[in-house]
Amino acid sequence: MASTSRQPQVELADAFEEIAPSASTSGRSRVPVKKMPYDVFINHRGPDVKYTVATTLHNTLSVLGFRVFLDSEELEMRDFLPGEIEEAMRSPSLHIAIFSQNYAQSPWCLAELSFIFKTGKQIVPIFYHVQPDDVRYAKGVYADALSQHKNKGRYTSKKLEEWKNALNNVSYNAGYIINNKEDEERLLKNIVNCVLKVIKNVPLVVAKHPVGLNEVVIDFERTRLQSAEGHCTVQFVGIWGMGGSGKTSLAKQLYNNKYKNMERCSFLLDAGSKNILYQKQKKLLRGLGLKDVSVDNIEEGKGILGSRLKSVQVLIVLDDVDKVDQLDALVPKKDNLGCGSLIIVTTRELQVLRSWGISSIYKMKALDSPHAKQLFCCHAFLQPSPLPDFEDLVKNFLYVCKGLPCL
């Protein structure tokens, strides 16, 4: 996944100068009140497509686990504050621009498109009841809309050329033409598949009952992760502990916290399973987005991991490793990785980490009594406290398990 930190830094004010839209001209009367990373941003004119293709796409992708920005879902009524929408446009790996009949009438839509285009992020166009040439060469309703903007004298010639340039360039991207309801139903699956190909990484399901996990994550990041600010770091960190101590849950949450800022990432569950090592290498490479490679033996896999990830910022999590040769086969050499790369290894075998040279090791601790009790009760009684008459039994169990109720 592309790192947002390496994209060209486009100033929001440059794209939105002179723009102060009202609901009647743009369909944008609301702005986000919270900043969070999104996977997909849908650029559209609300009155044309809000309750048809835009909402259908939003709902379909949301069910699949993607975070999709669509203003009817993400915004609430308040004053126009364009700065608050910046992160919603910067963070996604993919943008979808829905060009409709009245799209170019909205200066806000055109400013959004111009801003996104300048970031260099991928934009998939949908031509909704308009033809690509109308968008590409500013013909028909698009010519009329741009002429109206010019005649109002509100926008400079430079701004109008900027909008036309964005329309022209984006219209050449591979996209979809929807002329009727049948097209919309037929192409929806293709559009969703396109998103799936571009954005493979979605948050992992961490744990059914993540009791006490936040505190552990904070402690891990405070004590084991170095700050990459100001210098290049490639970090190898081990998570060591008994079975049931929460190693995998911690690793999953760390992955979810970090993957959006990495160029490529992969979480290899059960890295210590009985599969042949080069098969694990293939699975790891697929997770890193390298699906076009063939691996027939371990040494070939090592070479591919080294060459194809040269200078790439990666996040790799290897879960439940139990032998040194697994790390030899699955971890690229430090010198081959890009600045900011992070490799996390979970294991029950402390000596595996030490033998391979991983010195930064986080030891999983037993839960304190209140958290251990809550976690056990969530599993046993589907509630955070014991059922009546079970207090003594729970107390005895927790004494025996020593803070590891899932052991």
* Spatial distance between the Cα atoms of 324 and 131, rounded to a whole number of angstroms: 58
57 with 26: CB under 8 angstroms?
Answer: no
Cβ of 205: how many Cβ atoms within 10 Å?
Answer: 9
Give the pairing type, strands 122-128 and 176-178.
parallel
Structure tokens at 369: 């009594």
What single DSSP character describes residue 1?
A: -
Outline where 64-128 has alpha helix (H).
71-74, 86-90, 107-119
Q: Which of 86, 112, 184, 263 is catalytic?
A: 112
Residues 6+ positions from 339 with CB-CB distance below 8 Å: 228, 232, 233, 234, 313
Give the pairing type, strands 235-240 and 264-268.
unpaired
Length of the chain: 407
* Spatial distance between the Cα atoms of 101 and 139, rounded to a whole number of angstroms: 11
- If you compute the radius of gyration of the chain from its CA atoms, what whole number of angstroms results? 25
114 with 31: CB under 8 angstroms?
Answer: no
Q: Is 112 a catalytic residue?
A: yes
- How far apart, in Å, are the Cα atoms of 398 and each of 20, 51, 197, 243? 61, 53, 46, 16
Give the pairing type, strands 235-240 and 360-363.
parallel
* Spatial distance between the Cα atoms of 368 and 252, rounded to a whole number of angstroms: 21
240 with 350: CB under 8 angstroms?
Answer: yes
Residues annotated as part of the active site:
112
